[in-house]
Amino acid sequence: MKTDSLYDNISSNIIQWWQNNKTLYPWRPVDGAPNPYHVWLSEIMLQQTTVGTVATYFTKFIQKWPSLEDLASSSLEDIFVQWQGLGYYSRARNLHKAAGILKHHFPRDEAGLQKIPGIGPYTSAAIVSIAFNKHAVVIDGNVKRVVSRLFGLEGEKSITEHATALTPHQEPGDYAQGIMDFGRLVCRPKNPLCPQCPLKQDCYAALHGLQATYPIKTPKPLKQQQYAAAFVALKDNSILLQEQNDKKLLQNLLTLPMTPWTRDQEWEDQDALKQAPFDLDWELSPVQIKHEFTHITLRVKVFKGALKASHKGLIPLENLPNYPISTLVKKIIQSID
DNA sequence: TGTCCACGTCT
DNA sequence: AAGACGTGGAC
């Protein structure tokens, strides 16, 4: 461990950097105290999701549901429509559950917050420090990168220890937001802005030219390749969609009729057509869709056909924004036109 | 094109 | 406790 004064010096520099470089995101108050509802909602959205993407969704959410009570009284279906495209849809399910709890009691401590669905160690610390300006150690991907470079660290335990020692008891809200913004904007994963970094003279990685070495990354498991066919059944200007109920992935969203996803690349088009929802004059689209999930790369062949009779599940194309649809399905529909 | 970001939470 | 769970943008 380094001396206390070095940690103090670094955290002061981070706070100062942030106060000079603070960006006004929609969830940050122009002046005055942060709104805990806004902090919670934004932090849930920011899990694994970039700031730019979240800004759009966050603004839509607070326009539709200006208060926590408004959100708590909404239906899960409405939350899904607004959440569509953001990904990690269990967050939307937990958001709906959590709103009902937080409306009655909004804990101001990490242990209490972690009992709420969707709030884990990182998010509880973020809410405590940002919304309530109380001491809590935030450790997200940015903090890990900054701390591992500053001190030349590898491994969870030492990073947590140093992040804890670095977290000041003064201005915890500014520090928490500061170190995460600093990591994103200055101590970037690639091409960090070391020449203009206020911490460069204290940074192990910068002093040794090891910025690219830290953080030490663990090898990721190979993505599984999977294959499927999707069926776009059209009637006038309507498209046939159905509920996703046969798999956990993309649960609660609407989907196109699809064959089961398989690891076998070598199936024939006729095999897919046997699993079509109707006996139709299906036409194979020349465009194959590739879609990346966290752990799966999916390649989809698309069959298009004209329905002769009306059918349950037909949705006018112009009404699609009112239904929860994944980006995968949007991509497939857009590829047809 | 392909890789990385992206530890975040839940199971 | 390792694996499941989405997406888009940077490079």
What pLDDT does A252 receive? 87
Note the pLDDT tens digit of each residue in A66-84. Answer: 999 999 999 999 999 999 9
Confidence of residue A183 (pLDDT cuts 50, 70, 90): very high
What pLDDT does A36 receive? 95
Q: Provide the CA A293 to C1' C5 distance, Å, integer.
A: 8
Residue nearest to nucleotide B4 (CA to C1'): A189
What pLDDT does A330 receive? 92
Q: Which helix (H) or strand (E) holds A151?
A: helix A141-151
The residue count of chain A comes to 337
How large a percentage of chain A has pLDDT more than 90? Answer: 75
Q: Catalytic amino acids of A?
A: 43
The half-sphere exposure of A127 on its side-chain side, counting CA atoms within 13 A, is 29
Query: Residues A189-213: what's their mean pLDDT?
Result: 92
CA dist., res. A236 & res. A3, Å (int)? 72
A302 DSSP β-pair partners:
A230
How large a percentage of chain A has pLDDT more than 70? Answer: 99
Answer for A45: CB within 7 Å of strand C.
no
What pLDDT does A271 receive? 85
DSSP state of A250: T
Answer for A261: CB within 7 Å of strand B.
no
In terms of pLDDT, which residue wins out, A264 or A172?
A172
Query: Residues A117-144: what's their mean pLDDT?
Result: 94
What pLDDT does A1 receive? 55
Q: Which helix (H) or strand (E) holds A270?
A: helix A269-273
Burial category of A200 from C-beta neighbours within 10 Å (exposed 0-12, middle 13-18, buried 19 and up): middle
Q: Where are the beta strands (DSSP E) in chain A?
A: 224-235, 238-240, 242-243, 254-255, 283-284, 289-292, 296-306, 314-316
CA distances from A186 to A17, A19, A129, A241, A333 (A): 10, 14, 22, 45, 39
Confidence of residue A264 (pLDDT cuts 50, 70, 90): confident
Structure tokens at A217: 């990354």
pLDDT at A310 over 60: yes
Which bases of chain B come closer than 7 Å to a protein CB?
3-10
